[in-house]
């Protein structure tokens, strides 16, 4: 799960009460569907800093609340406001995640240099999704290099 550290960083998550946050603001249907349809309580995720000087994995979190409507879609003052969304027919969803641990930075360059990870969606040129699945073999490989 990607987050811009200027919005929410791994350190911000670690400092929050209960160490949890709603993963708000996802406005891509495929990423939304991953959250809404596939994520389960207890699923662990890599916390990835993007749009920064050193993008890469910086920690681990876990899903602690199943998908529910993202309230920012209804807030006309939010940059995530969606005028087509209604409470009866929400378009955007989020899950809550809880901080598990901070890791050393595993840069995108380091991830791309590992041949066992060459098929990861997040490493593909042009990938813009903020949420992508991680195959169990890829998860084990990344845990092994942490």
104, pLDDT greater than 90: yes
125, pLDDT greater than 90: no
Q: Token pair of 61, please?
A: 């979190």
Pairing relation of β-strands 93-107 and 56-69?
A: antiparallel
Query: What is residue 127's predicted lDDT score, i.e. its pLDDT?
Result: 80
**3-state secondary structure at position 18:** helix
pLDDT in tens, 11-35: 999 999 999 999 999 999 999 999 9
| Closest to 128 measured CA to CA, from 29, 23, 12 | 29
Choosing among 3.40.50.1820, 3.40.190.10, 3.10.590.10, 3.40.50.1480, the CATH entry for 2-145 is 3.10.590.10
Q: pLDDT confidence of 87, banded at 50, 70, 90?
A: very high
The predicted model scores a pTM of 0.92
Q: Which sequence spans correspond to the domains of the chain?
A: 2-145
Q: Token pair of 144, please?
A: 């092994």
Angle 38-19-137 (CA atoms, 0-180°, nearest 5)? 40
Query: In Å, how far from its chain's centre is CA 46?
Result: 7
């Amino acid at each position: 799960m990607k987050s811009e550290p200027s919005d929410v960083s791994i350190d911000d998550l670690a400092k929050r009460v209960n160490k949890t946050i709603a993963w708000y603001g996802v406005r891509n249907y495929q990423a939304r569907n991953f959250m809404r349809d596939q994520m389960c309580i207890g699923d662990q995720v890599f916390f990835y800093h993007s749009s920064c000087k050193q993008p890469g994995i910086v920690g681990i979190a876990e899903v602690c609340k199943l998908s529910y409507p993202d309230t920012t879609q209804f807030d006309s003052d939010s940059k995530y406001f969606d005028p087509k969304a209604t409470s009866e027919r929400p378009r955007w969803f989020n899950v809550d995640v809880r901080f598990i641990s901070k890791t050393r930075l595993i840069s995108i360059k380091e991830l791309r240099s590992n041949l066992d990870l060459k098929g990861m969606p997040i490493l593909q040129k042009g990938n813009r999704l903020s949420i992508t699945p991680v195959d169990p073999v890829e998860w084990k490989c990344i845990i092994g290099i942490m």
